[in-house]
Amino acid sequence: MKQTNFRAKRKRGALTNALIANFLNIVIIAVFKLIINVIGPGHYNVPFGIIQLLLITAFWVGFNYYQFKDAGQESPGDYAFYLLMCMIPTLFFTLLSIIVSSINVGGSFSSTWNLLTFVVAPALYLYIPYGIIYRLIGNSLPMAVFMLICIVYICAAQFIGYFIGKKSRQEAMARIKKRREIEERQMAEQAEMAERAKKQRETEASRMVRQGMRRRMNPKPNRRDPLGDIEQPAVIQTEAFEPITDEMIAKVKAEQEAKKEARRKAAEARRARIKRMGVPAGSRKKKEAEAEQPQQTPDTNNASNDDGPKWVIPGKGKQK
C-alpha cells in the first residue's frame, strides 16, 4: 500500500486495522453479553436489541471513517483488501455453522457437542448485536440467510464510514499535493540560487584572473624607483653601454678647461667694467653694507665717555 505521510501510513495498514477492528468488535459484544446476563437471558429485550444494533453500526461507521479519512491516496483495491481481512473471522465461523447445520452430524453426543461448542457458539456470539434483525425477519428465514444478511449489513456499515471520509481524503490529497508543489518550488529556487551563485563565483574568479593579468602586464609604478614610470622596453639604452676611449676622456677634459677659461674671462671683464666706472669694488660693497645697517643717534650727554654705560649716582645733582 502506498504511504503518503505518517498518519496515512499508521492508519492504512490493512492487516493492523483488521485486527484492531475485530478486537474492538469482540470487546463490544462481550459488554453486550454481560448486560444481557444482568437483564436476564430468559426473554429478549427489544429496546436493548435496538440499542445494540445502533451502537455496533456506529462503531463500524466511525472506525472506518477515522482510520481512512486522512489516507490521501487510498484506492478501492486497498480498502477491499482491508474489508476482506476484517471479515475473515466472521466468514469462517459462519461458513462452518452453515455446513454443520446443513449436514447430518450424527455420531455420538460428544462429537455433536464439540461441533456446537467450537463452531456454532462462536458464530452465534458474533451475531449477538444483530438479534433484533433475527427477531424481525429471522423467524421466516433460514439461519444461513440471516447470517448472510448480517454479513452484508456489517460490510455496508463499514463502506458507509469509508464513503463519509471521501471529502476528508480529498482534502488530505490536496494538502499533500500543495505540500509537494511547495517542496518542488523550494527545490527549484534552491537549484536556481545555487546555479546563480556558481555563475557569480565563476564571474568573480574570471574577474580576479583578469585583474591579476592586468597587474602583471601593467604593474603599478614604484615611487621609490626613479625609473618606475618608464614604459617598456624595460632596458634603457644609454651611452654608458658604449666603450670609453682615450679620445673621449681628452674631449671631456678639453670641454672642462674651456668652461673654466670662459668663467675666468667673464670675471676679468666684470672687474674691468667696475674699474672704468671709478668705484672700487671694496668701497662699493662697504657702502651697501652701511646702508643696510640701522642709524644710531649719538648721546650728547655722555659723548666724553665712550668706555661703558653711564651710571647715575643719587644725590650728586642736588649738591651742585
Q: What is the mean pLDDT of residues 103-117?
A: 66
Range with the largest mean pLDDT of 27-31, 77-81, 240-244, 306-310: 27-31
Helices (H), the chain: 6-11, 14-39, 46-68, 76-102, 109-115, 121-126, 131-137, 143-164, 166-217, 246-276, 281-292, 316-319
pLDDT category at 153 given cuts 50, 70, 90 is very high
Look at the block and give the residue holding cell 475473515: 88
Global pTM reads 0.52
| Residue percentage of the chain with pLDDT more than 70 | 68
Grid coordinates representing 270 are 666684470
What average pLDDT is seen over the chain? 75
Q: What is the pLDDT of residues 14-46, one digit of tens each?
A: 788 888 999 999 999 999 989 888 887 667 888
Cα separations (Å) of 308 from 141, 213, 304, 312? 168, 84, 11, 13
CA 163 to the chain's CA centroid: 41
N-to-C CA span, the chain? 149
What φ, ψ does residue 225 adopt, rounded to 5°? -90, 115
pLDDT category at 192 given cuts 50, 70, 90 is confident
Whether residue 155 is predicted with pLDDT greater than 70 in this model: the reply is: yes
Instruction: Name every residue whose Cβ is closer than 8 Å to that of residue 29 and which is 6 or more positions away in sequence.
Output: 56, 125, 126, 128, 129
Q: What is the pLDDT of residues 51-109, one digit of tens each?
A: 999 999 999 999 988 888 776 555 667 788 888 899 999 999 889 888 887 775 556 66
